[in-house]
Chain A
Amino acid sequence: MNLLAHPMEYAILPKVTIGREINVVTVCTVDHSIRVVTKIKNTMKKTKKKYGRYVALSVALSLLVGTIGVAQESTKLSDPEVAHVAVVANQIDIDYATIATKKSKNADILKFAQTMANDHEAVIKQAAELAKKLGVTPKDNAVSKQLLEDAKKKQKELNGYSRAAFDQAYIDNEVAYHKAVIGAVENLLIPETDNGELKALLENVVPALKAHLAHAEMVQKELTSKK
């Protein structure tokens, strides 16, 4: 598992926002570098239009250096740590759903949140059962910690929205969060998991995550069209 000094910032969360305009994918696996470069190119174009050529160039350079820099500082996650990350990532989405249940009055949002709570609960249950069967105790680690820390910030933010603004903010976050988790599970967790059963469980979860993402995008689209 090639994770980084500030793992969440670079490995799990796909978007780092610089200023208001620039979103950059900074994922450090090899197959992602192409995406990173493409993103950097796009960012340069955007920045150039807005701030001029030299600003664009320096932004792109700092991003590239950052990406290479973090790729060098890697850590390896053990299977108990992978299991812990999986549980934490699922729990975070349940917690977001709990906030939605309290704050939203929108039927689509409420139904989506209920599905998230139920499905992610089911995944946690299976992970717990597998861990028990394998005699593995999920182990806290830097990635889990960072995930939780970021989620705490997001939860605070979501709790702070007015009812009118909440639905959009919640569903936008669901789209972003599922994209990030899919990327992390497919490109980081699965390739580096040693135990076959744990790997199979993670692989089984991916279709659910992808269905959740498509569902979230559907609700997001409906919400936007109603505006």
Chain B
Amino acid sequence: MNRWIGVFGWFAFAVAAGWLVGGCQQVRHQAAARVDVSLRQMQFAPTEVRVHAGDTVVFTNNDIVTHDVTEETAKLWTSGPLVVGESFAFVAQKDVTYYCSIHPIMKGKITVE
């Protein structure tokens, strides 16, 4: 009998722990998060990211040449030249398409969910 209570207890504990951890992740997900985009081999990787409003997208130049990150449709904002190793942080509020004005074939997209 005691053995069964023990098993049940562990089971209840596991469920509760799972719920707690899951809940924490949920909370963390809703708070402002950081999403990384790497600039490498003449591409934004990943090319498209899905974030929540207020999340920060951090672009880091891991390539061999200088790049930038520039809003594509009206050039509303730009990181300016990012030399190799440099990063640029952007807080996303709404959907945006961006490109590298130095290499206009490099394009990317942020979707705000």
Contacts and interface: CB of A to CB of B under 8 A. Distances in A.
B105 A218 contact: yes
Contacts of A126: 64
Interface in A111-127: 115, 118-119, 122-123, 126
A122 B102 CA distance: 14
Nearest to A118: B66
Contact of B42 (A122, A123, A207, A218): A207
11 contacts: A115-B102, A115-B103, A118-B66, A119-B65, A123-B64, A205-B64, A207-B41, A210-B42, A211-B105, A211-B106, A218-B104
Nearest to A209: B42
A204 B41 contact: yes
Size bracket of the A interface: 10 to 19
Nearest to B102: A115
B104 A215 contact: yes
Given A204-B41, A207-B43, A211-B42, A122 B64 contact: yes
A122 B103 CA distance: 15
Contacts of B104: 215, 218
Contacts of B102: 115, 118
Name, among B42, B64, B65, the residue most crowded by chain A CB atoms within 10 Å (CB to CB): B65
Nearest to B41: A207
A128 to B, nearest CB: 13
A115 B100 CA distance: 12
Size bracket of the B interface: 10 to 19
Interface in B92-110: 102-106
Interface in B1-47: 41-43
A151 interface: no
A5 interface: no
Interface in A188-204: 204
Interface of B: 41-43, 63-66, 84, 102-106
A64 interface: no
A118 B42 contact: no
A215 B64 contact: no
A118 B63 CA distance: 14
Given A119-B65, A211-B103, 6 more contacts: A118-B66, A119-B66, A123-B64, A123-B65, A207-B41, A208-B64
A208 B42 contact: yes
A210 B43 CA distance: 11
Contacts of B63: 208
B66 A122 contact: yes
A134 interface: no
Contacts of A207: 41-43
B109 to A, nearest CB: 18
Given A204-B41, A208-B42, A211-B42, A118 B65 contact: yes
Nearest to B100: A211
Contacts of B103: 115, 211-212, 215
